[in-house]
Amino acid sequence: TVTLGPGSFTGLRLGLSALKAITLSDNIPLYGIPSLEAYSWPYKKAIETVLPVIEAKEDEFFYSFYIRGEKIRNEEDSEIEEILKQIDAESSVLVCGPGAKTFVERTNEITPLYSLHCFCPENDCCESLFEIAERMIAEKKEPLKDYDGPLYVRKSEAEIVLESKNKN
């Protein structure tokens, strides 16, 4: 089982490539799980909307929204203000993942109107990966194919630089 991202381009590529090589050599199926899904998994029965977040760069976060374990918004990256526009200020939101504490602190600096609850238990993702993989196996979902890659939410810095050069 491996997380597909979002996250560091290099880290995702290297980690996924290494695991694919190991699993291919031993003919073991490899299941890929989006990182944000893994962070939200322990809260799949929460009545609140779950907002898993990962710090992307500066004031941007990778994020998604889940309700009762179901993804209601695809993975994106955005600044806090843009993410907050998608939240009803009167609803309670459970924020989790490695960027949760920073996200809630910065939100409270911007505006104290939101009812955000930060959950940052240790090691919540690892156990989630195994539970999700077990569910995928039970549901007979396909493991990753040789050509499946990481889940990229945005372009790499190299792609951005190349596009900028091509425009000029």
pLDDT tens sequence across 89-130: 888 999 999 999 999 999 988 887 788 888 776 555 677 888
Give residue 38's identity as a one-letter amino acid code: A
Please state the φ and ψ torsions of residue 141, each to the nearest 5 degrees. Answer: -75, 150
Q: Which two tokens stand for residue 93?
A: 């939101």
- Measured between alpha carbons, how far is 126 from 60 in angstroms, rounded to an integer? 24
Residue 124 CB neighbours (<10 A)? 18
Q: Is the peptide bond before 112 cis (omega within 30 degrees of 0)?
A: no
pTM, full prediction:
0.81
Q: Which of 16, 45, 44, 13 is nearest to 30 (CA)?
A: 16
What's the pLDDT score for residue 70?
95
Confidence of residue 85 (pLDDT cuts 50, 70, 90): very high
Instruction: Judge residue 9's burial from the number of C-beta atoms within 10 Å of its C-beta, 0-12 exposed, 13-18 middle, 19 or more buried.
Output: middle
Q: Examine the pLDDT at 22 and tell me if it is beyond 80.
A: yes
42 has pLDDT over 70: yes
For position 123, what pLDDT does the model report?
A: 56
Mean pLDDT of the chain: 88
Mean pLDDT over 12-24 rounds to: 89
Q: Which amino acid is located at 32 in the chain? A: G
Categorize the per-residue pLDDT at 68 as very low, low, confident or very high, splitting at 50, 70 and 90: very high
Please tell me the predicted confidence (pLDDT) of residue 63. Answer: 97
pLDDT at position 137: 93
Q: What is the mean pLDDT of residues 35-56?
A: 93
> In one letter, which amino acid is 100?
A
